[in-house]
Amino acid sequence: MSYGFYLDLQKFTDGGDGGNGGTGGSGGITYSYEQAEQIASERAGRAERSALTNYFQQNGMTAEQAQEAFRDFKEKQEAQKPNVSAIEKQRDDALAELTGIKNKAVLSGLGVQKEYEDFLLHEISKNVTDKKDFKACAEEYLKDKPQYTRTQSQMRMSSGSSGGSGAGSSDDVNATFNAALRKAFGR
C-alpha cells in the first residue's frame, strides 16, 4: 500500500516563487512541515509494528500472541521513558533551595538577625529583577529598615570580642565561670 504525497517543489526552483499559474504537474497538493512530520511518524510507527509482529510470528507465535507481545513491548518502552515533568520539578525545587541558602548567606553577611531571615527573604525576593539581584535589593531594603540588622556591639559580642562597654560574649562568661569553679574546688 503506497501513499503518495507531493510537496510543491516549484517554490524552491531558481527564479520564481512557484506562483506562475501552473502547478508543474504536482497536482497542486502541498504539505506543511508539521503535516509531513506527522505522516512520516505514522508511517514509522506502522513499519515498526509490522516488523515486530513479523518477527514474533517467525519465532512461532500466533497472530494474537504476536499482537500481545507487541503491546507488551510498547508498554515496557513507555514505562522506561523518563518523566520529564517530574525531573524538571526536582531541578526547580533544588535550584529554589540553593537560591534560598545563598540568599540567607547574603542576609547573614549584611548582619540580619536570624529571627527575621525568612520574613526578609520573602519581602526582598519580591523586588528582585533581571537588572537587580538579591544582594542589591537586600542592601536597599535594609538601608531603609535597619531595625532587622544586628547593631555593631551585638555583632562584636557574637564574634567573641568584647565591646567597648566591657560586656563579653557568652563564651567569655562561661570560661570565666568555669575558671572560678575550678579554683573554688581546687582543681
What is the rounded distance in angstroms from the CA atom of residue 60 to the CA atom of residue 39?
32
pLDDT for 40-93, tens place per residue? 889 988 888 888 878 888 888 887 887 888 888 888 988 888 888 889 999 999
For 159-173, what is the mean pLDDT?
A: 52
Residue 106 three-state SS: helix
Does 13 have pLDDT greater than 80? no
Residue 182 three-state SS: helix
pLDDT of residue 3: 54
- Number of helices followed by number of strands (H, E) in the chain: 7, 0
Does 172 have pLDDT greater than 50? yes
Q: How confident is the model at residue 138 (pLDDT cuts 50, 70, 90)?
A: very high
Mean predicted lDDT score pLDDT of the chain: 77
Regarding predicted confidence, which is higher, 152 or 187? Answer: 187
